[in-house]
Amino acid sequence: MKCLDRYFISEFGKRFLLFFVILNAFLFCVDTYTYLEKFLTHHASFKEVFYYYMAQGVAYLPLLLPLTFLVTLVFTFLAMHRNNEIILLQSSGVNFFKMTRMWWLLGLIGSGMLLLNNFYWISNAQEYSNHYLESLEKNIPDKPSFLIKHLTLNTQNRLWYINRYDRDAACAFGIAIHEHDSRGMERRRIAAQSGYFDESIGAWILEQGREILFQSQKQIPDEVHTFDRRVFHELNDSPKLMLLLQAPLQILSLRQLKEIIDTDTQKEVSYRMRFWDILLSSMFCFFSCWIVLPLFFSMLREKPLPTITKLSFLLATYGVISYTLYTLGINGALYWPYALLLPVLFLLLTPLLWVYKLL
């Protein structure tokens, strides 16, 4: 590593750590303001709260790392511009790519770390923090059980409806299952008073119910079977998936989103868009280099304020376009891959004019 690269890394690293700590502290204060009353009400121990915020710190990385990288990149360049270091290097014969290669490398490393860790560490942290907040609700004194109403799941040929689900006992009450053939005609209906999913065999065990078989053409009951307790090995839909469908979309981890996408659900588009949006957001460290470096280096002779104004306008325009197309994609007004890729193309094509000026 050359002396110039070490200098760039040193200047970038000091500012990056400073902004990372400041933004992390800000998010910590916001989260504490939101959940402090809940921690005090449920008598959470210091150890539990510490582990929760450790997990939250990792879960915030997809937001913190790209934002910190962008802010650090801008402030590092402004400091070098104020000290006339950029002009001095260019007058010494150092070209654009030689000066910025270390920043490009750091952008690729940051994007790669987010992309790889989204499936493991970040997903584990998000699931742990969500599970801990849910566990606080279970520990309310004099609360009989943690009941959830109206669980549903719509797979390719099977529709589930559960009236109540007890998460403490992992038991479902008021179960109705409708199975259809490839033409959409109902061929079997199962109703049971209660049941539970046996993880060891991967099947549902239903109690106090009946099974109705329909004729495929006339849609009238052909056979009716009652049972006190019966194991349905073909019913392998886990209630964990139904619980994930009840959770807010924004708190789901990348791994949980993939689990939902692997099944054919009615809300498949929104979950697919969220999944790929997280993956594309992981590349924002590299996109920051692609936008900031050509913009600032092509306007060295101008004052920094107009350049920052152009950058702010570009990012605001990207935010408006991204939000609008994302909304259209979820509502079905626009094909969802286009809703995700068009803002990315906007980010990739806009700096080409500045790159051309540099070349």
Among candidate residues 210, 223, 227, 277, the one with its CA nearest the CA of residue 249:
277
Residue 321 near residue 343, CB atoms below 8 Å? yes
Q: Which pair of structure tokens corresponds to residue 10?
A: 């040193």
How many Å apart are CA 179 and CA 159, to the nearest integer?
Answer: 6
* The one-letter amino acid at 138: K
**pTM of the complete model:** 0.82
β-pairing, 147-154 vs 186-198, is unpaired
The CA distance from 288 to 290, in Å, is: 5
pLDDT tens for the chain, residues 1 to 359 = 577 778 878 888 889 999 999 999 999 999 888 888 888 888 888 888 899 999 988 999 988 999 999 999 988 888 887 887 777 777 777 777 777 888 888 899 989 889 888 888 898 898 888 888 877 766 555 444 467 878 888 877 888 999 989 887 889 999 999 888 877 788 889 999 999 999 888 899 999 999 988 876 666 777 888 999 999 988 888 888 888 888 888 888 888 888 888 876 556 788 899 999 999 988 999 999 898 888 888 776 667 778 888 888 999 999 999 999 999 998 888 899 999 999 999 988 888 888 777 66
* 231 contacts: CB under 8 Å, gap ≥ 6: 198, 201, 203, 204, 205
What's the topology of domain 147-244?
lipopolysaccharide transport protein A fold (2.60.450)
Angle, CA of 340, 343 and 346, to the nearest 5°:
145
Q: In whole angstroms, what is the distance from residue 188 CA to residue 171 CA? A: 23
H-state helical runs in 45-95: 46-59, 61-82, 85-91
Residue 175's DSSP bridge partners are 162, 192
Distance of CA 192 to the CA centre of its chain: 36
Question: What tokens appear for 3 in the block?
Answer: 């002396």
Closest CA to 115 of 294, 261, 324, 287: 287
Q: Where are the domains positioned within the chain? A: 3-118+282-358, 147-244
Residue 217 has what pLDDT? 64
